Structure 1
Amino acid sequence: MKAKYRFILAVVVLGLLMTGPFVVSSLLVWLDMKEAERNLLVELLVSRLPVGTMMTMCGFAIGVLVLHKLFKQYVEGLLRMSETLRLMLGANRDFRVTLDGPPEVQQLAMAANDLAQQRDVLMNDVDAQIGRAKASVEEEKNRLAALMSELAQAVVVCNLDGRILLYNNRARLQFKALALGPTSVSGGALIGLGRSIFSILEKNQVEHAQEVIRQRLGAGKTAISNFITTTRGGQLLRVQMVPVLAAASGEGEAAMSGYVLTVENITRSIELEARRDQVLHSLTEGSRSALGNIRAAVANLIDYPEMEPELRERFVKVVDDEAARMSQRLDQTMIEFSDSMKTRWPLEDILGIDIIAAAQRRINEKLNLPTKTEELDDALWVKADSFSLVFSLVFLAAKLQDHYEPRELRFRLKSEGKLAYLDLIWAGPAMSSETFYTWEMDSMQVGSETTPLSIRDVIDRHGGEIWYQREKAAHRAFFRFVLPVATPEIQQDQEDRKRGSSRPEYYDFDLFNFADKSIDLERKLSDLTCTVFDTETTGLEPSNGDEIIQIGAARIVNNRLLRQEVFDQIIDPECPLKPESIPIHGITEDMVRGKPTIDVILPAFHEFCEDTVLIAHNAAFDMRFLQLKEERTGIRFSQPVLDTLLLSAVVHPNQESHKLDVILERLGIHIASRHNALEDALATGEVFLKLVPLLEEKGIVTVRQALEASEKTYFARVKY
């Protein structure tokens, strides 16, 4: 029986106890009295009835107040203590019972806290032993994760259903670059734990490759299969598949439990090869007829030395014209090939001092010119095509040696923000701007080594600049190469660390046993693939014109919150922000101006959370904003929605507050920052994972049971 029903029953009993004896005794006396006595009694009672009634009501009210006070202190206090004890047993070991209420309840709370402290000591010892036992296994997992993360090739591991259970950083970046349409707007990727590889690769080709591997396994051959596929954006991928074999049982052969895919984007290399073939074909076929004409003309000149001067002039003219056309064709081919070379090589991360060391060696070998260094930042990494950059430095050194004969050259390396300054310094007379421009634009040659690239081509390839400057006080001059610092990947790693440990998020070996299932209301909460999300808005009235200005979301797979597979997008609401809302979410007019509108972002978010259960805190508020955009965008979120506010009320019905901040404190969850859509979504995800075992203790295991229990709470009546 619920507490409030027990209180009502107690009040009824109190009323009966106060009036029952008087009524029964009066009835017995009445039955034993004579008529005259009865009339006298009635007259006496009627004259004193108001005073008696008033005294009875006052006594009853005092009794109810006393009963309510005792009920609050003992019954509800003990119920709250019971919920707190369950918190201490499950979600938050550090939580303790508050010492309030009457002395007897406080004594009980102190005893419970003492028992919890002793339990924590024992559990800490058990946890330490378990941690030592798991250390070696975790070390092996982390070694594999580190190895996979640092591989230069994109690697994806899938189970037999095509669900991704491991991928490395290269795969994440490669498939993010391949993303088209709304998925790429928010920085989302096509890849993620638990997602299907068939959203990227053709299912028929993957299944065919699996069949080839099974046949090769059966024949005792090397189990490997290769195929080339085309993405939705027209990119060509070369894919190699090798099997993941389950442990063999008894005499039977090991069965295939999954597969490893190594993926390479060969679109660029195919285009370059095709262009090279076209250039070679043009050069050979175009020169064939010209060479034939030249040979015929030369043969006639040799065979007929006495031919007439006019005829001889015609043959010489043929040779001259054909040679000119061949020269023009060769020049054109060289120009086209040079353009191909300029865009061929990607920039790689390299230590700046390594570039300087390589340039010093080449200058000493080629020019026999002494070199020194000064002011070197030996920890500075730059993005560079090292070969062309070193060649440029040697070329400039050769030019300086030919024109100014410096005694030595010096190198200097330092950083300025996101730029690196690489200086080639010499002492000598001033150089004119015209000379520097000529050197910058000429094709480079050092001895017998030549390249169609100019210094300007090399600088453009790096997206940098080259300056000529004088140090008048020191009577020196220098060429300054302005190069990009290799920071983007470092910054990305720092962002990943802020969201949690990066490598473990990339794999989950338990997904080998994951079966592809649609959203079923009878599925266990612990087995769900979920999208936990939150919105920031211009105000609190969706029906009165307030708009979404940020959506943040993360995925929960296999009972793990994936802090790197996130959706985070600021949105232009196409209306002014309310000044009173800006201090809450920290988003200003400048931050939303020029951002994508809800028409672009909502399809992207719908794709991100497709085939998952939605989770939010106070979900009715967020879902109302999404529902009001259905007609405009044509996007409808039809999947089940779980609300952590309602689930908290289910688990802890006697707690006074179910605000997200209070729940975080109650469950022992520590969040660095709040009131950002992504951070709030991550906090809500942590809350949900803590609530799942608490719900199971109450017999709420499936999605349907959680929805039904949520509907019965008081907060489910709130509408927006």
Structure 2
Amino acid sequence: MNALRFLGALLLGLLLVAGSLALGLFLLLEGNPEAQAALWEAVRARPMVPLFTGLLLLGALSLLLYPPFLGYLALTRALGQESEVLLAHPGHRLTPRGPWELRHLARLINRLAEEKERLEQRLEEEAAQAKDLVEAERERLARVLAQLPQGVVLSDERGLVLLYNPKARALLGEGLGVGKSLFGLLDRSLLLHAQSLPQAAFLVQGPKGPLRLKARALEEGFLLLLEEALPEGPSRERLHRLKDKAAGVRALVEVLERETTGEAKRLLQVAREALDEIQGLLQDLAPSPHEEVPAQDLLRLLAGRLEARLALTPGWTLDPGAEGLLVQADTFALAEGLAKTLEGTEVVFLQGEAEGEGLFQLTVLLPREAPKPHPLLAEAAEATGSLWREGNRLILLLPARKAPPEALKEAPAPRALVYDLTLLQVPPGLEDVPLDQLLYTAFDLETTGLDPEQDAVVALAGVHVLGRRVLRQEVFEALVNPGRPISPAATAVHGLTAEMLRDKPPLEAVLPAFRAFVQDTVLVAHNGAFDLAFLRRAGLDQPPLLDTLLLAQLLFPDLKDYRLEALAHRFGVPATGRHTALGDALMTAEVFVRMQPLLFERGLKRLWDVVEACRRLPLARLRY
């Protein structure tokens, strides 16, 4: 095959050369017709001579060029086969041989192999470091969880256990294990119900006895907190005996009250009051499935359960007089029983209102006569209140009390779990710490204008950055009453008006919280000299400061546009929330973390290195 390829290429080359010579000779003799005629006549007279000459030349060239041709093919094949070894042995290197182009190709392949090997080694080292870090943090987290007095179980959305502590194992027994289902140990419906009321504790029957359970829904699962239903002290049997004895004494007192008069009756009334207090204390010690739920949460929970179970969308309303009530009820049994009672119903409306002192009335309105309550609903309602039917209405009367002022405040949205236990090892000196091991605060502010001496802050925001991670759940954001007019040009930028900020606190009231937020961190800002000029005038001076404007000039000295949005576009950061304090702070943080690898490549690995390099830039001399 190689010989045929060689002969074909050689023959084609000879034809091209012969044709070119013939054409050139013919054109050379174009001005001499006699010479052209003589040449043509000679070829016609002896046609075999040029053919024989061509074949002879072909053979001679074949003998001369065939060995080098085969050698070139062999070197090319050997180079390809040797290159395949790199797939199995990254440390192998090619030996440059043959003509210049093959030697050059071999050297290029070796350079690529070296770069690939270095990259793989670096990735392996980083993976090993990350694995060691994760393992160390896992061990620290395990030690912390082991010291908690409650049982802690982390589960995915399917109920499979991902993590638990020794206390949880003691409460749930040998059936608890990583990868096992929680639903085999605890009631599935109650677990799902408990996630909708994370502030409430529920009584659940565990494998080893009654437990108090709290559940919080997470993005991809849920977290359980478990503890024994009975506090340490009186045993369950003793508690029941005390309750029975107290009930017997109470019955005796009631009989004696009917039979006595005068001073003896007054003493019996005192004894009865003491018994009421004793029975109340015993009730507090006993495990109870009842929890106190805000009235609006109860209606929302019941409506959600009916929607999930019956595929309908119940309407509901709460009377303003009942908005501050905490209702005592077994919400799980109440929701399950109501869903079972209303099976087959297509339209439901729930109405809540305060009824007298210490009572909450829940009315279920139906388009037809109210059905007989399911036993589960009747038991749940009558355990603490009462239940009856009136035509197309189902009425539940439940105990309630006015919530204290702090309970009426809306709880903040739960934040994602954030931890880095390596921060327990405090670095000795901030300047010598690598950039990727520092805690930063990227911040931004909006103002009434561009003059720090005359204008004021209208918005202030910041976000924490841990090394190369932006902690988006750790943010600070505040609107500020500037105490002076806002220029139309400034409003056109950030959209804030004096009317919008009329009821907001002044900067002096906001600054202490911001100072606490940035404490023990390195500030990061874009054109930070402008922002710090406003903060210094208010009494906040927090060196050192890393300015992404200076860092951009350091990294890209020939760049023509150093605006924040231009840098964000260069690094692939989405420009969301532009010209809001929090939006710009987040954008600054994302740009900064993408700058860190480039700073490392230039040998600027420590905070001190970066600060010193920035000080030599012309922009660093800018003052406001």
User: TM-score, normalised on structure 1?
Assistant: 0.40
User: TM-score, normalised on structure 2?
Assistant: 0.46
Greater Rg, structure 1 or structure 2?
Answer: 2
